Amino acid sequence: MNPQEIVPVNIKRIRISRGMNQSQTAAAAKISRQAYADIEKGKTREPKVSNLQSIADAFDVPLISLFEEPPKLETVRFRSNSIKTQKDKANKELCLIETAYWLKNFNFLQSAVSDIKPYQLKNLQPKIEKFDVDRPKRAAELVRKTLGLKEDEPIGDILGLVESAGIKVKTQNFDIKNFFGFSIAEADGGPAIVVNSAPSITIERQIFTVTHELGHLILHPGDYSKDCIGEGKKEEIEADRFAGYFLMPQRAFEKKLHESYGLGFVERVLHLKRFFGVSYSSVIHRMSDMGLGEYGKLLPKFIYLYNKGNKEKINSRKEPVPLVKLDFVEDYYPSLVRRALDKSQITVSRAAEMLNVSLENMRATINSWADIPS
C-alpha cells in the first residue's frame, strides 16, 4: 500500500476504535467535516501535515501512526460465499486489517503479562489424518478428550474452552452480509477464530461458528490462504459435522433424548437445545441423522406446533427460548488488557484502542474495576 492508501485506512480504523463519528473527529481536530471526510475517503491526495497532526492529536496518537502500513494476514479462511459487492469487499479488507492489529495486540499482551498459551491441538493432526470413516465425528471426540471433556459433558463456556487450548478468539460486529466468521492459521500469529457478533446473528449461531471454524483448523489445516473465500462444499459439511458432534456428543445426546422420553415434541427439542447450547434446528438435524424423521418434515412440524402454543412466533431463523449475549462473553482478551495496565505496560489510551472503546468509556471501566477486587 502507498501512503495515499495507508493514511485513510489508518484514520478510519483508529476513529472507529475510538467510538467516534466523522463529525466528532473533525470537531476534535478543529477542521471542517468535509475536509476530514475527504482525507478519510482518500479524496485528498496530499493532505496538509497540519491537518494530519490535528487528527492525530484528536486520536491521542503519534503522527507517525497514521503512516504505518497495516499488518497483513496471509493464512485466512473466510466463512462467507457472498462477498460480491464493492461495499462488502471494502468491509472485508477493513475486517482483515482490524483483525491483524487485534492479533498483533493479543500476542503482545500475552508476552507482556507472561501468559502465552501453547496450541494444544497441533499434535493431533497425524491421528486425524488416519481416520478414514466418519472423520469429523471421530476428530470431534478426539479433541473433546484432549481438552479434558467427559463423553457426556455439555460445554458451558465455549470461548474459555477454546482459548484454554491456545486458540485466540475475537468477537466483533462486522457489516458484511451473510458473514459469520473466519479462522487464521498459526503462521499468522494464531491459531485464531473471528466471530461476527452482529445483533442479527443469534448467540446459538455464534457458538456454532466457533466450533465450525475449530473444525476447519483441525480437519483442513492446509486450506488456509488470504484468497480462500469460496467454500468447498465437502469441507463445509465436514466442519458442520465436527461442530455438531463437538457440541452434542452422540452418547450424551442419546442419553438426554432418552431422559426426555415423556416430554412432548416441542418441549423435548427445547430441552435438548438449552442443555447443549445449540439451535433448535441443530437438535432436529441430529434427530434426523438418527433416523427419527426427515429433517424437511420435522422442522416445519416444530415451527407449527411451537407457534400454535406460544404468542411469540418463530421461523427458521428466529430461535425460541434463545441464549443471550451474557451466555457468550469473550473475557480473556479484556483481562490481558487490564493486567497489562496494572503492570504499566500500556497507557489508558492504548487500552481503549485495544478494546475498541472510547477513552471516556475506558476510564469508566477502569473506575468500575475498583468496585470488585481482582
pLDDT at 59: 87
Crossing angle (nearest 10°) for helices 280-289 and 265-276: 110
CA distances (Å), origin 82, targets 89, 236, 272? 10, 15, 32
Lowest mean pLDDT across 21-35, 84-98, 100-114, 239-253: 84-98
Grid coordinates standing for 363? 476510564
Angle at 123 between CA 121 and CA 128, to 5 degrees: 85
Angle at 316 between CA 312 and CA 317, to 5 degrees: 80
One-letter amino acid for residue 234 of the chain:
K
CA dist 69 and 275 (Å) reads 46
CA dist 77 and 285 (Å) reads 25
Q: pLDDT tens digits for 220-235?
A: 998 886 555 556 788 9
DSSP code of 187? Answer: G
pTM here is: 0.86
Domains of the chain, with CATH numbers?
A: 3-66 (1.10.260.40), 76-247 (1.10.10.2910)
Instruction: Give 320's pLDDT tier (boundaries 50, 70, 90).
Output: very high
Grid coordinates standing for 331? 473475557
Beta bridge partners of 76: 184
Q: pLDDT tens digits for 38-69?
A: 999 888 888 999 999 999 999 888 888 898 88
pLDDT at 46: 86
Contact status, residue 144 vs residue 248, Cβ threshold 8 Å? no
pLDDT at 154: 93
CA distances (Å), origin 282, targets 30, 185, 192, 272? 53, 27, 24, 10
